[in-house]
Structures are given as structure tokens and as C-alpha cells.
Amino acid sequence: MTPGTGTHRICLALPTNRACAPTLAAVAEEAAHAARHSDAEVRLLVLDSCDERTRSEHARVLAALPPVPGLTIHHLDEAGQRDFLRDVIHRAAPAAPDRMLDLMLPSGVSYGACTNRAFLIASALGCRSVHRRDSDSAYQSANGEPVFPVHHELPSLGMPAARAAANVSETDLDPAHADRPVSLAGASFIGELSVDIGEIQRLDQDLHHEVVSLWAPGDWSEERKRELVAESFKGAGTAPFAGDHSTLTLVDPMRVDMCNIALHHEVYERVPLPPATDTIGSDYFLLHLVHDATLPGVLHNRHIENFHTPERRTHSGFLAYQTRFVKFLLSMLYFHHVYDRMAESGAALLDDRHRVRADAVVGFLRGSTRLDRSENVWRLDRIDNAYRKLGGRYADFADLLAVRRERLLDEARRDIEDFALLIEAWPALVDAARATGLGGADRGTGVRGSDR
């Protein structure tokens, strides 16, 4: 098969709101590698929410890349993304178009919303999969060559599991799932913690345990909470890449990270990600959905290197990140309920064509919004107590939390309601994206094709 001949099209997506020229160049190299070494036509999609100066630097990096047959680059600033979304929303005609635009392109940081934009644009471009990377990460290397995750993502994604077994090192899959499509391929990261709470661990091990254990369900035993804390946010540890290994399995969401993931379009075109703002973890929902619905995946070991950007070390960065962490903890009251319902449903979450039943997910979400929020009141009490004991800037942050307490409790439930609303509108948005195409959204944003 001739490389880059385009028997199918994929989207390698990098959303960013920070300067990341080295990562951008590295991801572009992965995209070029995929175009050269597979029959896929590759669309590199950079969703750039940075200031004008940083965007211009990113544009210079992309413009300097040599053309590669089978690779097209799309670099969209927020104006271009907004133009695209307005066209799609106008065509889809949802009941509340302005609200839908806010959920897709909010003013605050939203890991779910930026990935949802990548999903819709991938649909507009006719891609069959999205391969997501993050701007605060880098690739490992072996024998002087970068270790690209796409190596394991391309061969099996979308293929019936029975056929995909030939592409992996081992299979750990119930034969009952053999006819279902491989819907996810992913690995984790090595390096710094994915959640920036390492300082709490250094300051006080007991308070670190108390804070991290708050993302467990309230009724878990202390032993289960200790096990959760022991593996939380650590990824694959620190051991470097030493050779390929891949497993065809139902992929445990705790073993993969959204900086190193690929999803088949039959998943993300059925259900989007939660669009919640100013919270971490809002982009992990589909990992749970794929696993609980018994859709096969490939778990590999081409882990990405994670690092923390300098912005997190500033006072404003600290406050913003701690707020996102607290909102994540509060979201778990609702998501644990939904995850439990999805796990109980198993394959009943799929229709007779092995596609996720979005209506079932909406029902679970709406059911969770009726939960008593006293568990979240308890969580905030525990966070307040722990941060005041830590002192310094953590105590200052506890003062801010006390002022925002009621608002945060309300936001946690409203975020779930918004997610249900978006899922209900999603099929029309996907259809509209396919019909609209990217069109004028590419205007002036540095689109480059292999024929340049």
C-alpha cells in the first residue's frame, strides 16, 4: 500500500492555550510519520486559543515544516473555530443556539469542550478517528528515534477485535467481544504527576492521602481508598520505553491518559465529552464509556512524557489549577453514579450495530442530578480543613473556596445538566458538521497541504 494514499483519513489533534512550539513541531513529526508509514491520509489539527503573538509563533513553526505527501495541516485560531461552530449550529438548528455555542467554545478553560471541537472538525473533514495529544507533553525516544503512539493506534482502530488480534502482542478479551470494533487505542505517560499536587505530598503525606481520596465514592472502604491514592495521577511511573508491547482488551481507564489516546468516530460521533469549564478530568468520560460498554481497545506502552509548564508555578496559575482540582472532586459525586449505572448496563449500552446508545447515557446523567449533594458539602469541608492545615497559599485558597462554596456546589450539578443537553443535540451537530465541512473557518489560519 502506498503511504498517504488516503484509503482512510485520520485527525491528529493538538488543542493548546499556551506557547508550545517544541511540542507542536514534535506532533507535526508524528503526523508526517503516520502519513509516510501508513495508507492513512493525515489531517493535523491545531486548535490554538493562545494570544496573537504566541499564535504567530506557532504559525511560523508550522509554515517552516517541509510538505509531506498525504499530510494536511489545519491551524485554527478561536475566531476560525467560532466561525465553524456558528455555521454548524445554524445548520443543526438546536433549541438554544447561543447556549450551544457557549458549551462548545466557552470563555473559561474546558478540556472537554476543546476536544469536542476537535471531534466536530474531524467529522467535517471526513476523518474516521481522532488521535489526541497535549501541549504539555513530549515523546520518548529509543535508539535516537521518537516513540510515536500512532504506531499502535493506526493498525487496529475500527477493526473487528477478532481481526485486530493479529496486530498486538497479546489478547486479554472475552471471545464474546470478538466481533465488536476496536474503539480506542491508548497508553499513559511517564514523568510528572498528571495533577499538580506533588507539593501537597511533599508537605504532608497524610493530608495528601486525605485530599486525593476525596475523588473516591463516599462509601468506599479505607483499603480501597488507599489503593486509589497509591495509583492516582501517576500514569505509568518513570521507567522509560524499552520495547513495544500491546494488548487487545477492555482498556482500564486508569491505564491511559487523554494526552495519548485515539478514538474511533463511532464513539465520539455518538457521545461527546462533558463541556464543564475550569475543571480537570472533564475529558475522560469516553474512556469509561468505551470500557463499560464492552468495546475492545488496544492498550500499548508508548507512553508520552508529561511535564508541568511554568504558568502553573505562578500565583494565578496555582489558584486556577487548585480550583480545577476541587471542581473535579465535586464532579465525582455525579460521575461515580453514572459510571456505576454504565458498568451495570455493560453491553446493553450498545445497539445491534455495536454503537453506543446515547439515550441511555443521558438517562444516567439526568438521574444523577437528583442526588443529595450532602456528600459534596462533606468534600468541601474536608478540603477546607486539609488546606488550612497546609497553611500558606493553601490556606489563602481555602479562604477563596469559602466565598465560592455555594456557587461551586451549584456548578457541579449544572455541569452535568449541560452535558446531558449537549449529548441530546450532538447527533444534529455531527450531521451538520459533515454537511458543512471546514470551509471558511480555515481562512487566514495557516492551512497547508501536501501539494504546496
Distance CA 194, CA 16 (A): 16
Confidence of residue 238 (pLDDT cuts 50, 70, 90): confident
Q: Which tens digit of pLDDT belongs to each residue from 93-109?
A: 999 999 999 999 999 99
- Report the pLDDT averaged over residues 398-407: 96
Contact (CB, 8 A) for 318 and 312: yes
**122-160 per-position pLDDT tens digit:** 999 999 999 999 998 899 999 999 999 999 999 999 999
Look at residue 242 and tell me whether its pLDDT is greater than 60: yes
CA dist 12 and 319 (Å) reads 31
Among all chains, which residue has been given the C-alpha cell 492513512? 40
pLDDT value, residue 281 = 86
More confident residue, 445 or 101: 101
User: What are the sequence ranges of the domains in the chain?
Assistant: 8-434
Nearest 5°: the CA angle 353, 358, 363 is 135
C-alpha cell at 416: 452535568
Strand-by-strand arrangement of the 246-249 sheet: 71-77, 40-48, 8-16, 129-132, 261-264, 184-186, 297-300, 246-249, 170-172
Query: Quick one: pLDDT at residue 234?
Result: 80
Percentage, residues of the chain above pLDDT 90: 84
Burial bucket for residue 18 (CB in 10 Å: 0-12, 13-18, 19+): middle
CB atoms within 10 A of CB 402: 11
Q: Which amino acid, 62?
A: L
Beta carbons within 8 Å of 222's beta carbon, 6+ residues apart: none
* pLDDT surpasses 70 at 391: yes
pLDDT at 439: 77
- Joined together, the cell numbers standing for residue 436 give 458543512
- With cut-offs at 50, 70 and 90, classify the pLDDT of residue 230: confident
Residue 194 has pLDDT above 80, yes or no: no
How many C-beta neighbours within 10 Å does residue 339 have? Answer: 20
pLDDT of residue 103: 98
Per-residue pLDDT band at 172 (split at 50, 70, 90): very high
C-alpha cell at 45: 489539527
Band (261; pLDDT cuts 50, 70, 90): very high
> Mind listing the pLDDT tens digit for each residue in 298-324?
999 999 998 766 665 678 888 988 999
